[in-house]
Amino acid sequence: MRSPKDFFRPLAVGAPAPLREVPANPSRMIHFFPPSNAKMVAKVPDIAPTVDVLLGNLEDGVPATDKEAARAGLIEVGKKWSTPDTQFWTRINSLDSPWALDDLQAAVLEIGDVLDVVMVPKVEGPEDIHYVDRLLAQLEAKAGLDRPILVHAILETAAGVARVEEICAASPRMQGLSLGPADLAANRRMKTTRVGGGHPGYLVRADPEGGDLEAPRATYQQDLWHYTIARMVDACVSNGIFPYYGPFGDIKDVQACEDQFRNAFLLGCVGAWSLHPVQIGIAKKVFSPDPKDVAHAQRVIEAMGDGTGAIMLDGKMEDDASVKQCRVMLETAKALAERDPELADLYGFSKED
Ligand SMILES: CC(=O)SCCNC(=O)CCNC(=O)[C@H](O)C(C)(C)COP(=O)(O)OP(=O)(O)OC[C@H]1O[C@@H](n2cnc3c(N)ncnc32)[C@H](O)[C@@H]1OP(=O)(O)O
Ligand SMILES: O=CC(=O)O
Ligand SMILES: [Mg+2]
């Protein structure tokens, strides 16, 4: 662990200085595409302006035989990148794979000038981040980059969850964490075969009416991921970085996808992965605050004056704490409206807001 004094020093001679603050760029959806698939690569110019983050995926989902083609496709996309308002990320292969080192070298040396974030899968502890951190610094120096590439870790091992706070604090490069429910379920030996989402067997049952064990009783499905998301949010926020829900594999079940994304949004996540074009709109809708909530937040902030004390508004108590909640809602809406003029209209923001 570096001393606090050295934390913001570059890790290689000639590497750019680490950022003091991770930018809060809108990232409602991290849209995955497989760069080994020429058809999908050809769609990048159309899809890139419609998403907050476009990610060229080199890891799971790309067959072992296509790993080099995927790397070449990523570089092709990076060399032609012409959508500076959209972030460009890649997910490299895991650090124990035969591909990770070549992925990192190619990504930084060939297209490091347009690459915003490297997503690192299956992170088990801060040592994995330290390894990537130093390597990135060496490669940035070699490539002559003038801004640091950030790191996003996927939380998808039990060891990673147990050390989530250390992972978040491991480097000033840390941008955020995504939940990886598929690998996490496998690693934990959970008995679900789904990629994210709930499970009908994970439920609570209402008590029997009058003790009648034969009478029908309501059941309520629970969220398998609540504990992990809540831990991830606390670890991220306390380190000034951003939490994301990961993949929802049941592409056809758009309703359950929306519910899962909304649970994550309500708990503090800023975005989720979209694996298919149909999930882009879902993430956009869910991770943009509802105009009704934004209007309410504005009313409370106005009514609260300097933001201290307690008042009654529509029969409810508002005070210093609730005004802070309202500011979170309004600041999120303003940041998104700057990127998205349709949202600015929906929220009724003028240019001066
Ligand atoms: C657990 C994890 O690690 S999750 C992350 C790893 N997995 C991934 O990244 C998967 C990414 N998604 C995909 O590869 C694809 O969406 C698949 C394989 C799941 C489904 O693909 P398809 O069978 O082609 O789906 P479908 O027929 O519904 O696609 C409709 C159109 O959207 C396109 N499309 C599908 N997914 C994407 C995508 N991620 N990005 C851009 N376009 C896409 C298809 O090419 C197709 O285009 P067309 O109408 O011009 O032919
Ligand atoms: O990589 C994502 C996952 O769910 O596993
Ligand atoms: Mg995974």
Q: What secondary structure does DSSP assign to 148-209, as a single string? A: PPEEEEEE-SHHHHHTHHHHHTS-TTEEEEEE-HHHHHHHHT-S--SSSS--TTSEEEPPPG
Give yes or no for a contact between 307 and 320, defined as CB atoms under 8 angstroms apart: yes
Give yes or no for a contact between 248 and 260, defined as CB atoms under 8 angstroms apart: yes
Distance CA 106, CA 74 (A): 9
Atom 3 of ligand 2, nearest CA residue? 180
Between the CA of 22 and the centroid of ligand 2 the distance, in Å, is 24
Between the CA of 145 and the centroid of ligand 2 the distance, in Å, is 30
Give yes or no for a contact between 246 and 154, defined as CB atoms under 8 angstroms apart: yes
Backbone angles phi, psi at 271, to 5 degrees: -175, -175
Residues 34-57 pLDDT 10s: 999 999 999 999 999 999 999 999
Q: Of the residues 41, 50, 155, 275, which should be mutated to test ligand 1's pocket, given the most ligand atoms within 8 Å of the CB? A: 275
CA 82 to chain centre: 23
Ligand 1 atom with the shortest distance to the CA of 33: 39
CA 179 to chain centre: 8
Ligand 2 atom with the shortest distance to the CA of 156: 5
Q: Of the residues 41, 51, 276, which should be mutated to test ligand 1's pocket, given the most ligand atoms within 8 Å of the CB? A: 276
User: What are the angstrom distances between the C-alpha of 161 and each of 94, 138, 168, 234, 266?
Assistant: 17, 29, 11, 12, 21
Give the pLDDT of residue 350. 80
Which pLDDT band, with edges at 50, 70 and 90, does 308 fall under?
very high
Distance CA 269, CA 284 (A): 13
Pocket of ligand 1 (CB under 6 A): 32-34, 39-40, 43, 47, 57, 60-61, 182, 195, 247, 275-277
Residues 324-346 pLDDT 10s: 999 999 999 999 999 999 999 99
Between the CA of 37 and the centroid of ligand 1 the distance, in Å, is 10
Orientation angle between helical segments 38-47 and 67-79, nearest 10 degrees: 30
pTM flag (> 0.95): yes
Atom 37 of ligand 1, nearest CA residue? 276
Give yes or no for a contact between 236 and 168, defined as CB atoms under 8 angstroms apart: yes
Give the number of whichever ligand sits closest to the CA of residue 275.
Answer: 1
| pLDDT (average), residues 262-279 | 98
Give the pLDDT of residue 9. 96
Atom 15 of ligand 1, nearest CA residue? 276
Give the pLDDT of residue 353. 66
Residues 190-214 pLDDT 10s: 999 999 999 999 999 999 999 999 9
Between the CA of 352 and the centroid of ligand 3 the distance, in Å, is 43
Pocket of ligand 2 (CB under 6 A): 60, 121, 154, 156, 180-183, 246-247
Residues 129-178 pLDDT 10s: 999 999 999 999 999 999 999 999 999 999 999 999 999 999 999 999 99
Atom 22 of ligand 1, nearest CA residue? 276
Distance CA 320, CA 307 (A): 6
Which pLDDT band, with edges at 50, 70 and 90, does 128 fall under?
very high
Between the CA of 153 and the centroid of ligand 2 the distance, in Å, is 11
pLDDT above 90 (res 262): yes
| pLDDT (average), residues 228-257 | 98
- Residues near 132 by Cβ (< 8 Å), separated by ≥ 6? 95, 104, 118, 120, 151, 173
pLDDT above 90 (res 352): no
Distance CA 93, CA 119 (A): 9
